[in-house]
Structure formats: structure tokens, C-alpha cells
């Protein structure tokens, strides 16, 4: 079993993400990829990249278990199947997650349980809540866009549901500019203290007879900080090879990248959220002065120097690098 080094743990604390290469089982990646292609829109063919284009209106579906919409193709109905859980809750990933969160503290997924999306969207027209699901989030594919790259803007967000540690795993090659997960390094430390509670984000309930006001409540301080982070922090694009993963802190600013790659490619990934078994109690408290108070001892103790070489391997922009 491979363990995270003190340098890797320190990097995660400081920048809120950590890329690990070739971390997923090759055979499982292939089987999960086959599973994804079994849910393809009729016009999108696995062996013909010229068909890898945004999904037309006539084929669109906003089904919470299988979304086909524009450049988004998200299979959530398979999220409690054994292959997906074995892929993302492998002994190696659990080992690393326990270094970050604490040994013996993780809430395991349930094979054959209720997939994310089974309850529908969090509110009409809204997103699906990843906390309502007993497995991984699902297989998320990003198709190439037809929009010129210069017209596309990056816009970060943070997730509103409670969890501790996210992981995005590539199940096939994803080239640069191919829709890879994007993160804003260090933004977790700036966003974490700006919410009333440390894991949730407050929501307005939906009422069918009063539909105008619903969804997440964004504190004004958070919205101001989003603009500042986008202005002063260049994002990191997590493209890579089959089996590469990125761990990310729950308050880290992020987005699904735009897929402008040519030759055409599809970003194909599985997403999972690690949660601790006592998350329900942790949700009750406001942000701690020490934001790592709820995390594992190994992470809390990490204070290693970060080398320029390692920072470059993590694609950290030079302007953000702090060596010690």
C-alpha cells in the first residue's frame, strides 16, 4: 500500500487539492467506461469522434438518473453498482482518504443502494443533491463544445451539500482543454470561514404555490470573495491519463472545465464524496478557527517543505508557489 508523503499532505492543506496519477484500477476503468457508453445518446458513437458534439434538443433529457443536455452526459443510475464503488472506494483510495480524514472514520458506500438522482433535483430546475445517494455521484462526461474558446468564461463555485473530501477519477485519457476538472488553488482557506456552518450552505425551501424564491443562499461576503479569487488566482486544470485522480477540499472553488480540445475528446470521469461517519454532528458547528480540527491526525501534523518540482507536477501556477 502506498501512503501520502508529508509533502503531499502539506500541499493539500495549503492548496486544497492533490493530483495522484494512475491511482485507479485499469480493468475497472475499462468496464466502467463500457457501462457509460451503454447509456450514450443515439447520435453519439464511441468509434466516431466526429459525432462527439453537444446533444441536440431532440435527444435531450433532464432525467436525474441519466442526464443528456448540451455538453453534459451524466449517468447517475449506475452509481451504486459494484464496479463503480470498487473503483472509487478501493483499498488504496481509502488508505489515502483515511490519512486525510482519520483512520476508521469513513462512511462506506452501499453496493446496490439508492443511486444519486433517485430523489430527483434538490428543487425544480435545480441540481441533484449528491448527499442524497448511497454510492458514487456517477459517471460524468463532458462533450466537446462548438463555442469558440475565446467566448467561454470560467466561473467557479463551491458545492452546497455537506461532505468532506471530493475525488474526481479519469476513466480514460483527457487532453488539456478537454473538459478536465478545474480548481482554484488555496481558495478553500478563503471560502471556509465565510459560511454560517462549516459543511452546509443554507437553502430556501421550494413551495409549488410560491415558486419564485428557492435554492442556495450565498452570503454577500462569499460572492465578493468569488470575484476576488477569480481575479487573483489562476485555476489548475486536472487533465491527464486513465486512472489519474484529484482529491479536493469541500470548500475549494472549482468547475467542470470547458471542452474545446481538438482533435475531439470526451472528458469521462467518476466522482465520489468521502464523508466521515459523524458528519451529521459536525454540520451543527460554525467554522473552526483551525479549519483542520475535524480532519485526520496525519494531515493536521503535516508541515513539510514543498519543492518547486512537486508544485510543478501538481501544475500549480508559479505565482502561487510558496516553498515553505
CA distances 81 to 74, 138, 143, 301, Å, are 15, 10, 24, 36
Pairing of strands 181-183, 203-204: unpaired
Given strand 236-238, what is the order of strands in its sheet? Answer: 236-238, 181-183, 254-256
Nearest 5°: the CA angle 163, 320, 246 is: 35
Angle (CA) 136 140 144, round 5°: 170
pTM: 0.97
Convert the pLDDT of each residue in 3-42 to its tens digit. 999 999 999 999 999 999 999 999 999 999 999 999 999 9
Name every residue whose Cβ is closer than 8 Å to that of residue 215 and which is 6 or more positions away in sequence: 122, 123, 126, 203, 204
- Which H or E run contains 15? helix 6-15
| pLDDT one-digit tens code per residue, 75-123 | 999 999 999 999 999 999 999 999 999 999 999 999 999 999 999 888 8
CATH class of this structure's domain 6-320: mainly beta
Residues 6 or more apart in contact with residue 320 via CB below 8 angstroms = 15, 185, 186, 233, 234
State the CB neighbour count (10 A cutoff) for residue 196: 11
Residue 324 scores a pLDDT above 90: no
- Nearest by Cα to 137 from 215, 32, 20, 60: 32
149 contacts: CB under 8 Å, gap ≥ 6? 177, 258, 260
Amino acid at each position: 500500500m502506498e501512503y501520502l508523503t508529508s509533502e503531499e499532505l502539506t500541499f493539500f492543506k495549503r492548496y486544497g487539492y492533490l493530483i495522484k496519477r494512475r491511482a485507479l484500477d485499469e480493468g475497472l476503468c475499462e468496464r466502467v467506461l463500457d457501462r457509460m457508453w451503454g447509456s450514450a445518446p443515439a447520435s453519439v458513437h464511441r468509434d466516431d469522434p466526429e459525432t462527439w458534439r453537444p446533444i441536440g434538443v431532440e435527444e435531450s433529457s433532464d432525467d436525474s438518473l441519466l442526464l443528456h443536455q448540451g455538453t453534459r452526459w451524466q449517468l447517475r443510475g449506475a452509481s451504486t453498482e459494484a464496479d463503480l464503488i470498487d473503483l472509487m472506494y478501493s483499498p488504496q483510495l481509502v488508505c489515502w482518504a483515511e490519512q486525510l480524514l482519520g483512520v476508521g472514520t469513513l462512511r462506506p458506500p452501499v453496493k446496490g443502494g439508492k443511486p444519486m438522482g433517485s430523489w430527483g433535483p434538490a428543487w425544480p430546475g435545480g441540481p441533484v443533491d449528491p448527499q442524497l445517494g448511497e454510492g458514487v455521484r456517477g459517471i460524468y462526461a463532458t462533450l466537446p463544445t462548438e463555442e469558440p474558446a475565446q467566448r467561454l468564461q470560467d466561473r467557479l463555485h463551491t458545492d452546497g451539500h455537506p461532505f468532506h473530501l471530493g475525488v474526481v477519477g479519469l476513466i480514460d485519457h483527457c487532453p488539456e482543454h478537454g473538459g478536465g476538472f478545474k480548481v482554484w488553488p488555496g481558495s478553500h482557506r478563503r471560502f471556509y470561514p465565510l459560511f454560517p456552518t462549516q459543511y452546509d450552505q443554507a437553502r430556501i425551501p421550494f413551495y409549488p404555490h410560491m415558486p419564485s424564491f428557492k435554492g442556495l443562499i450565498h452570503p454577500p461576503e462569499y460572492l465578493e470573495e468569488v470575484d476576488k479569487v477569480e481575479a487573483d488566482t489562476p485555476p489548475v486544470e486536472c487533465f491527464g491519463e486513465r486512472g489519474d485522480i484529484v482529491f479536493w477540499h469541500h470548500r475549494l472553488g472549482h468547475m467542470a472545465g470547458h471542452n474545446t480540445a481538438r482533435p475531439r475528446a470526451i472528458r469521462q470521469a467518476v466522482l465520489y464524496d468521502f464523508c466521515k461517519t459523524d458528519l451529521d454532528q459536525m454540520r451543527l458547528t460554525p467554522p473552526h478557527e483551525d479549519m483542520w480540527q475535524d480532519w485526520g491526525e496525519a494531515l493536521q501534523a503535516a508541515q513539510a517543505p514543498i519543492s518547486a518540482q512537486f508544485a510543478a507536477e501538481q501544475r500549480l501556477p508559479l505565482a502561487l508557489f510558496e516553498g515553505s
